[in-house]
Structure 1
Amino acid sequence: MKINLFAIILSLSLVSCGSNDKKQSQNEAAPEFQNKGHQLVYDMAQKVGNYSKLMGKKDVVYTYTYETPDGKKDVVTEKYLFKGELSYGAYHTHERTLPQLQGLIEQGFDGSEFWLKHNGKILNDENLLKGVVFNRPTNFYWFAMMQKLLDKGLKYEYLGDKKIEGIEYDIVKVTFDIAGKKTSDTYQLYINKETALVDQFLFTVADFDVIENPYLMKLEYESIDGLLLPTKRKYKISTWNAEVTNEPWIKVTWSNIKFRNSLAKEDFKK
């Protein structure tokens, strides 16, 4: 199955995340900081709302819209249960994801099994299910990224500061310490000195050899139920100096975000 670009980009999330809730306990109290970069990331997570605060919301339902420069869209109802990192997506429009199928596509992860439905019928095609195994954990991670930048196994390096378009930024490099892996995905965070938020970041995807040229993601935040969420995003190819090409942006938005929907494990079963 051909994997679309956004799915590839999301794959970098997998190298640092798992569904073990105990892994998140480090977010509840200030850790022993590796260096200044680590402390800046910690301070950022407290500003947006740390993982413990996110877990307190129990669950979330929102609309995810992904649009390419040629006008093709995915419009998805996403649902997550934070305990266990359960994930569900209903693709009402899927011009980028499985465009060969007509009608509603549903994907799910119930904590132990990944599943796929087309117009209510279970699909067991192994190649199609690979996309589900790929998308469900990474979509969850992307939503909780700012909190999960404090997951165990991450390394932080403070690269200095820089002024971009009149705004002063601290730059922090984040990599993943994975045993037996020669290369690692990389984040280069631009943390606004005034707001303590990540306004933009560069990233690579080692598993797909997206290493030489990073992508630049720019973010706009929205305050929802006590959390600051990057609900508007756009990205394209860049350089390590955060210089972008003249290519148009790929745009991603989260809307209609609602927490505490009384979701249960049964809601994620096929």
Structure 2
Amino acid sequence: MKKLFIMIFLSGLMVACQKNTENQDQSQYPTDFAKVLEAHGGIDQWKKGRTLNFTIGDPVDGQKHTVDLHSRMDKITTSDYEIGFDGNKAWVLNKEGKYERNPTFMHDLMFYFYAMPFVLADEGLNYEKTADKEIRGETYQGIKITFEPGVGNSSSDEYYLYYDPETYQMAWLAYKATFGKDKKPEWPNFISYDKWSEESGVLLPTSIAWYTAEEGQVGEERNRVDFNTISLSQESQPEGFYSKPENAVFGEEE
């Protein structure tokens, strides 16, 4: 499986989206963003789901993700390790060798990449119309997403959702994030959302790709992540599914 070297890119977005949105409906969003959500099946349909499953890499031996969409507990299983979040703390279980990354940061990172555009409907985010953007010969309309004060690792981070003006389907995500630095980058990074499939009434990505970008101009594809064995169920996992296994340790105990 390709190395997911882009693992730090949505840190601010992850923290901002930690809260679930049980009490929100589509009418609370600006019209353009509400239409994007509707084009992907609608926020109400998304909220009917309870358990999201997807695999990165090989369908049999890849990185298997399971997420409770209501509590945001999760678990990632591979042949080498397991990491997860029990609702309070992240944990890691080493099987072969040692898991070298920080499970507190890593346990839900790919979920936030994957669950676009629905994670952008979480609490603590603000929306405004932004200028149209030409990307690789196509023109897209955009929505700028920022954070309320005190939300996320850095409230100054910015995200841009670009969508097809005819279908309202999401096409690109751009972002300017500090990642612990004092100053945001001048130019954003870009992720292409170019492959989708319908699962339980909502559109979910089957592949996303990071592109080179210089001075706001998108260049060539540089890394692609494929998703498979995708499912969205209204059923919960058994009690204890997301709990720390007996031989695992919490992230801060490593």
> 5+ residue gaps in structure 1?
67-73, 93-103
1:116 matched to 2:88? The reply is no
Match of 2:161 in 1: 189
Partner of residue 230, structure 2: 257
User: For the residues of structure 2 that align with 1:182 and 1:205, how far apart are their CA atoms?
Assistant: 8
Tell me, yes or no, if the aligned pair for 2:172 and 2:190 is still in contact at 8 Å. Answer: yes
Return the TM-score normalized by structure 2.
0.79
Gaps of 5+ in 2: 245-254
1:1-270 to structure 2, matched below 5 A, reads 5-18=5-18, 20-21=19-20, 23-26=21-24, 28-31=25-28, 38-65=30-57, 75-92=62-79, 104-119=80-95, 131-164=102-135, 167-179=138-150, 184-209=156-181, 211-219=185-193, 220-239=195-214, 241-244=216-219, 248-260=221-233, 262-270=236-244
SS at match of 1:115: strand
Q: Percent identity among equivalent residues?
A: 22
**Count of residues in correspondence between the two structures:** 235
Q: How does the TM-score come out when normalised to structure 1?
A: 0.75
User: What secondary structure sits across from 1:155 in the alignment?
Assistant: strand
- Determine which structure has the larger helix proportion and give its number: 1
CA contact (8 A) 1:86 1:268 kept: yes
How far apart, in 2, do the equivalents of 1:207 and 1:238 lie? 18
Counterpart Cα distance in 2 of 1:269 and 1:249: 36
Task: Please provide the CA RMSD for this pair.
Answer: 3.0
Q: What CA deviation, in whole Å up to 9, does each residue of 1:196-226 have, x standing for no partner?
A: 0111121122224462332111112112221
Task: Give per-residue Cα distances to partners, 1:45-102, cap 9 Å, x unaligned.
Answer: 1221344322312202221139xxxxxxx9301111112011100134xxxxxxxxxx
1:16 CA displacement: 1.6
